[in-house]
Chains A and B, each alone.
Chain A
Amino acid sequence: MEQALILELLDRHGKVVLRQRFTQFPVRVGRDYGNDLILDDEAVSPRHLQIAPAGDGQWQIEDLQSDNGTWRHGSKQRIDKDRIANDGLLRLGSSTLQLRSPASQVAPTVRHASKAYRLRRTLGSWWLALPLLLLTIALSTFNEYLNHADKVHASDFAGDAVTWTGMLLLWSGAWALLGRLLNQRHLFVELLSLATMCLLAVFAAGATVDRLHYLGGPGWWNTPLDQTVWLLLAALLPLHLLLTTRLRQRTLLTLCIVLFCLFSGQDVIKGYVGERKFSDELSFNSQLNLLPASMLPYDSADEFLRNTRSVREDAERRAKQE
């Protein structure tokens, strides 16, 4: 069998930006025009390294006394003359090369029947996106309507509906543009479905958390409950980035954690400031009738008043603060 080396040039996110096949050895890599693979990388020497087959599915690497050296990916070990396994990674200058052979494995074919493929197909269908968009707009407008207790006309909410529609289309459009620039993907419909679903999820989470607060009253569980909403919000941005950019999953996860910390941190700061800023106001859960009266945990008036010792202690503590 003819021996072949396939060199892949990877970008910062590990995606292939250039792929070239070689059957003549050694393969020379460098910046000048005498090389087999010419790299436009200022930190790569004109004649940087050469690669030849070493048998056992390995490759023999020889650094041609380059200025910045050749390195094993992810290590501080400089390669002078060494072997590297097939599918191994090399770092030279600010580029990353992956060494492939015809024996290298590829990911299994995504089948049309597979869940992931069908999910993408469904997400990308106008038949899903459009009803979702309409549902989101209807719900948010209805929510606005519920805040009114005076005589209103449907036309009073047309403006809200238009604003919501515009915002959602603009949001998805902006992300779609990003996806096209960075990932060469056409994702507008997918992003529209995603955005509406995210909004619906936030609505649902908000409504559930509201009801749990209503049911649970004061207690330690209020903080984690609020945090779940923040977590959901923090996941939204990385989810969009996953579709539209080539960022690695680890980066996205980190971003998610950072966002979550920012959101909760802001919550903590707000709480701290609220605690220290003088105010005449009563802060409490004032919602009523969120759940049927038969579901609620009742105390007798005596028990309720007996349980206010913590209120007294808390009030004392607040009065002692500077």
Chain B
Amino acid sequence: MHLFRHFRYTAALLLTAAGLLLATLPSTALAAADAQQVFQRYKDAVLQIRIVDTRSGNRISLGTGFVVDAEGRMVSNFHVVSEYAYHPEWNRIEAVSSGGAVIPLKLLAFDVVHDLSLLQAGSRMPQALTLASEPPAKGTPLYAFGIPLDLELTIVQGLYNGLLEKKLREQVHFTGAINPGMSGGPAVDENGHVVGVNVATAGNGVGFLVPVKYVAALLQQRNTAALTQSAPMLTLMRNQLLAEQQRIMADLLARPIITGEVGNYRTPKDWSEHFKCWGGDVHAEDKLYTVVSISCDMQSDIFLSGKHRTGTLSYSRSFVQAKPGLNDWQFDRLYGTLFNQDPDMPDAGKDDVGNFSCRSGFVKQADGLPLKTLFCLRAYRKLTGLYDMVLQSATLDGKRSGLINRLVAGGVSYDDALRISKKYLEALTWNKR
């Protein structure tokens, strides 16, 4: 159980989330006519992408993809084809046209950080979409293509609501119903220019697109050799993830941590605009203590596999205070129990990571503040050099109050784990008056 779990905002990925087909959109006759035209004009460039297990012939992943050039190159999400990256030996990628023709595909490249993949069809394709060179103005109507829930090719009308720059990894906010199976489909403007790639939904018509500039960057990679072996694909993933985590860590390490006053302490409060913070307090009448908690989260993760997410960072603090009536020993037990509550971990399965290894110790801060500290790591099984990290501390100077701090990073290198831990710990001090 965790204090903040219910405050956590989860942008469910299209593959796993069951969204609601409840779009409240203008449905004037004009708009309907536009949608009809856009659909008729560009539908042949959009195909269903599926991963088939060659051992059983079963489809194990469904998504959408679109053709980007006459040579038959196609773009989809990485999470649509991720199973192929782990097990190319028993999976194959196929595209299915609206007529039912099956076209075998090769994987040319991917961008695991922005959830994109570049595929190659064996034959020339009848139609290709062009990429938008400029982002449209906020409020511009967009049309998202896709095959939701393995139904027919569908067009969804919605609105461009700008780039979410406060997100750690930029996304386009698309107001329109994106549903499972539409992953990897294009969102185009009235001229058929791709503005983004369907990637996620938060439900109720709040959708997210990968900005088209990352598609353009992926297309720049002019390698023609297809990726067919697991090892080089894993190396590629690892390198992309390491570069991404280094970018984020370098940014966070360069920024000062703004601290806030809590009891006798100053503790990390604001770090960067990428974090969103929620409070979660315990103030019950029948409890002989109060807990004031704040949990901050980057609300952005990178899809690695069905159960595995990375690229997350969160920190939290809980200030525990005894009320009159709680004796010192009771407080110590309570404080220990709260320290033992595990923070929200990045999602991972047993094939993705090993178990955590931990070390606890006592640290005296530069100003003399005594802490019990805990540092835990678990290593990624397939992506060497990446770890999930947990840092925890509890102040030991108070008899009837204490402050517990937690920092959790998903998919960092060991050196960066140490650097970020050091920076976070250093920001925890006594409050000098």
- Residues on B with beta carbons closer than 8 Å to the beta carbon of A318: 354-355, 357, 378-379
A-contacting 9-mer, from B130-138, B142-150, B223-231, B329-337:
B329-337
Provide the B352-366 mask, 1 if CB < 8 A to any CB of A, else 0. 011111111111111
Contacts of A293 in B (CB 8 A): 370, 396-397
Across-interface contacts of B118 in A (CB, < 8 A): none
Whether the Cβ atoms of B378 and A315 lie closer than 8 Å is yes
The majority secondary structure among interface residues of chain B is mixed
A82 beta carbon closer than 8 Å to chain B? no
Q: What 3 A-B pairs have minimum CB-CB distances, sorted nearest first?
A: A319-B354, A278-B350, A318-B354
- Give the nearest-CB partner of B382 in chain A: A319
Judge whether A289 and B362 touch: CB under 8 Å. no
Whether the pair A150, B286 counts as a contact (CB closer than 8 A) is yes
- Choose among A284, A299, A310 the residue that contacts B376 (Cβ–Cβ < 8 A): A284
| B252 touches A (CB below 8 Å) | no
- In the complex, which range does the number of interface residues on chain A fall in? 35 or more
Interface size on B, residues (CB 8 A): 62
Q: Which of A260-303 contact B (CB under 8 A)?
A: 275, 278-290, 293, 296-302
A133-188 residues with Cβ-Cβ distance < 8 A to B are 145-151
Q: How far is the CB of A15 from chain B (nearest CB, A)?
A: 49
Q: Which A residues are closer than 8 A to B by beta carbons?
A: 145-151, 217-218, 275, 278-290, 293, 296-302, 304-305, 307-308, 310-312, 314-321
Q: Given the interface contacts A278-B355, A285-B360, does A150 sit within 8 Å of B288 by beta carbon?
A: yes
| 19 residue pairs bridging A and B, Cβ less than 8 Å apart | A146-B333, A149-B289, A275-B355, A279-B356, A280-B348, A281-B342, A282-B374, A282-B376, A283-B358, A285-B360, A287-B336, A288-B335, A288-B396, A290-B332, A301-B373, A307-B359, A311-B357, A312-B379, A320-B381
Known: A288-B336, A296-B370, A305-B422. A311 touches B363 (CB 8 A): no
State whether the Cβ of B387 lies closer than 8 Å to any Cβ in chain A: yes
A150 B342 Cβ-Cβ under 8 A: no
* A149→B375 contact, CB < 8 A: no
| Interchain pairs with CB closer than 8 A, number | 153
By a CB distance below 8 angstroms, the chain A residues around B220 are: none
B402 at the interface (CB under 8 A from A): yes
Taking the complex as formed, is B418 at the interface, i.e. its CB lies under 8 A from any CB of chain A?
yes
CA distance A308 to B361 in the complex (A): 10
B residues in contact with A300, CB < 8 Å: 363-364, 366
A147 surroundings in chain B (CB, below 8 A):
333
Q: Which residues of A contact B394 (CB under 8 A)?
A: 288
Chain A contacts for B378, CB-based, 8 A: 315, 318-319
Identify the closest chain B residue to A318 (Cβ). B354
Beyond known contacts A280-B356, A319-B380: 18 more, CB 8 A cutoff: A146-B330, A146-B333, A149-B330, A278-B355, A282-B376, A284-B376, A288-B332, A288-B339, A289-B335, A296-B362, A298-B370, A301-B365, A301-B373, A302-B422, A310-B359, A312-B414, A315-B377, A319-B381
By beta carbon, the residue of chain B nearest A296 is B362
CA distance A155 to B380 in the complex (A): 51
Q: Distance in Å from the Cβ of B166 to the closest Cβ of chain A?
A: 29
Once the chains bind, are A299 and B387 in contact (CB under 8 Å)?
no
User: In the complex, what residue of chain B is closest to A142 when comparing beta carbons?
Assistant: B329
B40 within 8 A of A: no
